[in-house]
Amino acid sequence: MSDLLKRNETLVALVIVAFCVVATLADPLFFTVTTLSDLLRASIVIGILAVGCMLVLVSGGIDVSFTAVAVFAMYATTIFTLGVWPDMPWPLVFLLSMGIGAALGAFNALFIAGFGLPTLIVTLATLSIFRGFLLTFVGSDRISALPPEMRNFSRMVVARGTTEAGNFYALPWAFAALVAVIVLTWFILQRTMLGRSIYALGGSVESARRIGVNVRATQIFVYVYVGALAGLAGILHGAMGRMADPFSLVGLELSVIAAVVLGGARLTGGYGTITGTLLGVGLIVLVQNSLIVLGIPSSWQTATIGLLILLGTGIPAYQAKRAAARAG
Amino acid sequence: MSSVAKIPAPGLMNSPEFRLLIIAVAVFGLMSALSPDRFLSAQNMTSMAFQFPEFAILALAMTLAMMTGGIDLSVVGVANLSAVSAALLLANVAGPEATGAAGVFWLGLAILLALSIGAAAGFINGVLVAKFGLPPILATLGAGLVFTGLAVAFTGGSAVMGFPTAIAVIGNETVFGVPVPLILFAVLAYALHVLLTRTPFGLKVTMFGANPRAAFFAALDIDRIILKVYTIAGMFSAVAGLVIMSRANSAKADYGSSYLLLAVLIAVLGGVNPYGGYGRVIGVILAVLSMQFLSSGLNMLGVSNFARELIWGALLIFVMVINVVDWQALRRRR
């Protein structure tokens, strides 16, 4: 029981519940299906990105380039589809975007796994390489005339309707993509040797190597997988927003990393759960969309997210440091 | 591990600084050859001397943090928070009417305020790293968001304008033909050089960065070192913020957002080891010059800003790949 209380997940869940209670007291309209569907819709793209980002943190690295990968894959896929095969079925469009994302992830992996460079600096560099290449050579115009299949996809909804109060709500099928990503990643992390290798790698590279983990192959998988997820998130973002905007998404990476570390993943590697990550995403999405309900002006949003990161990671770190000091 | 570690000869030719000198000269030569009448013009030289100090000072702050094996991702946030605070004082309390002695008085007060805020922000970073045991990436990322967020909250996200004219001194004036920002950079660069190479503190920073464990067993007061390092980095960032504010004649929460990458790039390009323990100010200066020559030259050739971002990123990776061979040798020696 005391173990459960000490976990980041519990803390974040409590903060979310408190947030919702206060928000409902302040504005009864907050507690409706409409708000829920809005929040779920807002969490699709950031959720997929966060699951990928969590995997990188577990493996002991950090990736700040995934938003650039997402927007690159989305925009390049749109351009290619419009130019070559405008009627390409949407599953193929999605696969193409994921393939481009995976290729860019492999580019990251080349320098991280191949040359052993620090992950932060490599991905900071590739962030500007991908973005610079996209805007210089692929294009810098916003495209609102998306391929018809992408528009069709964006119209497919799981549930839609109007509440008694007359508020409209809708949950798009894109949400299923988030669920699929969660299930697949959970399976890889918990049920395969590969997943256990990723945790081992994050715990200690040298120990992982000595128990027979192929360090290089595991790292390559992590960055390629994250690239593919970013490609998926990017194309979903484009389809749901019904616009291919090469300037979007980049800048979101800090919020995503914030969500993941709030969920208990550690930058030093080896720790991180899907549940925690999703709770972190939930909190960040709440702060981004509903801070105003609590009476906090939206101009305080950035400061609030920063403060949440410091509190959510500082308190456990401080406890760990004190425990280590007591143990001598 | 299998082969006996070969200690590289400490000759001039092998040092990363010498390679940088070649890069700087090569870029300068290339740009001069490509557009001789414009790149070599006095006007271009002056404009370059006004442009680079603001991000070069941020790179110095980054260098200091990297010397300890850390990193300061909050430099731009600290710079903007300091600048916005100073700007609010100047625009709302002093107002554009303050001239002459009054203007100078308010300028002094604004500089003092910006430096104190920079120091306080840096101190917070230091506390998070030293006392709470947060990894520097996380501490400065979170704190950087808070600093930027405060700057947004104070201003509502819009630019602060309307300063006394005396403010232009920091960013736009020259003394004996030398731009003031350049003088500021030179003074800070020399101060950092002296601090790192001629003081006990610099030696401790280097020792801690090279091997934190050994530094701990050598009974160095590690917390104190880290606190000082991030506080000084915060003050350097505040100076950069003041230069940006003066040059733009306004302050805004999202000015210079591309400078973070640039500061990391320059420090790493300058041969500073991101794992800590090695870094020389002369390398950083050469890296700054190379970047500015490249930037101005590409600008004259009509290359877009996006392509410049691409080239910076590619350059950072390229230099890392070259340097990593040296660092591997360094780490093997430990």
pLDDT band at B330 (very low <50, low <70, confident <90, very high): low
Q: Which is higher by pLDDT, B293 or B101? A: B293
Whose structure tokens read 């013009």?
A: B41
CA distance B172 to A138: 38
A302 touches chain B (CB under 8 A): yes
pLDDT band at B4 (very low <50, low <70, confident <90, very high): very low
Specify whether the CB–CB gap between A72 and A104 falls below 8 A. Answer: yes
- Contacts with A2 (C-beta within 8 Å, 6 or more apart), sequence order: none
Taking CB atoms and an 8 Å limit, are B306 and A132 in contact across chains?
Answer: yes
pLDDT at B3: 43
Average pLDDT over residues A88-99: 94
User: Where is B167: in which H helix or E strand?
Assistant: none
Phi-psi bin for A7: left (phi > 0), alpha (psi -120 to 50), beta?
Answer: beta
Which of A230, A231, A226 minimizes the C-alpha distance to A78? A231
Is the pLDDT score of A167 beyond 80? no
B134 touches chain A (CB under 8 A): yes
Specify whether the CB–CB gap between B271 and B283 falls below 8 A. Answer: yes
pLDDT band at A29 (very low <50, low <70, confident <90, very high): confident
A83 touches chain B (CB under 8 A): no
DSSP string, A288-315: HHHGGGGT--GGGHHHHHHHHHHHHHHH
Is the pLDDT score of A1 beyond 80? no
Nearest-CA distance B105 → chain A (Å): 32
Chain A residues within 8 A of B126 when measuring between CB atoms:
none
Is the pLDDT score of A3 beyond 70? no
Among A117, A258, A310, the residue with its CB nearest the CB of B320 is A117
Q: For chain A, how long is the longest CA-to-CA vector?
A: 66
- Residue A81 CB coordination number (10 Å): 24
- Contacts with B225 (C-beta within 8 Å, 6 or more apart), sequence order: B68, B201, B204, B205, B208
pLDDT at A5: 59
B94 vs A66, B101, B103, B116, B245, CA distance in Å? 45, 12, 8, 19, 16
Q: What is the pLDDT of residues A69-88, one digit of tens each?
A: 999 999 999 999 999 988 88
- Residue A96 in tokens: 């193409």
Taking CB atoms and an 8 Å limit, are B142 and A268 in contact across chains?
Answer: no
pLDDT at B1: 38
Taking CB atoms and an 8 Å limit, are B137 and A125 in contact across chains?
Answer: no
Is the pLDDT score of B305 beyond 90? no
Nearest-CA distance B148 → chain A (Å): 7
Taking CB atoms and an 8 Å limit, are A126 and B313 in contact across chains?
Answer: yes
Q: What is the pLDDT of residues B209-219, one digit of tens each?
A: 999 889 889 88
Taking CB atoms and an 8 Å limit, are A307 and B265 in contact across chains?
Answer: no
| A62-B286-A116 Cα angle (round to 5) | 25
What share of chain B in percent tops pLDDT 90?
44
- Contacts with B212 (C-beta within 8 Å, 6 or more apart), sequence order: B69, B222, B276
Q: Which is higher by pLDDT, B14 or A202? A: A202
Which of A200, A168, A210, A229 minimizes the C-alpha distance to A59? A200
Chain B residues within 8 A of A265 when measuring between CB atoms:
none
Q: Which is higher by pLDDT, B110 or B330? A: B110
Reported as half-sphere exposure (CB side, CA atoms, 13 A), residue A298 has a value of 6
CA distance A220 to A115: 12
Taking CB atoms and an 8 Å limit, are A132 and B311 in contact across chains?
Answer: yes
Q: What is the pLDDT of residues A259-293, one digit of tens each?
A: 998 888 888 888 899 999 999 999 999 888 888 78
pLDDT band at B14 (very low <50, low <70, confident <90, very high): low
Among A120, A122, A299, the residue with its CB nearest the CB of B137 is A120
Is the pLDDT score of B7 beyond 60? no
Which of A227, A284, A17, A279 minimizes the C-alpha distance to A103? A227
B176 touches chain A (CB under 8 A): no
pLDDT at B148: 93
Rounded to two decimals, the pTM is 0.87
Structural Rg of chain A based on CA atoms: 20
CA distance B333 to A111: 23
Average pLDDT over residues B273-283: 89
Chain A residues within 8 A of B309 when measuring between CB atoms:
128-129, 131-132, 135
Specify whether the CB–CB gap between B264 and B213 falls below 8 A. Answer: no
Which region among A166-170, A202-206, A304-308, B70-74 has the lowest average model confidence (pLDDT)?
A166-170
User: What is the length of chain B?
Assistant: 334
User: Where is A171: in which H helix or E strand?
Assistant: strand A168-172
Average pLDDT over residues A38-53: 93
Which of A231, A235, A233 minimizes the C-alpha distance to A69? A231
Nearest-CA distance B128 → chain A (Å): 7
Q: What is the pLDDT of residues A197-253, one digit of tens each?
A: 999 999 898 999 999 999 999 999 999 999 999 999 999 999 998 889 999 888 788
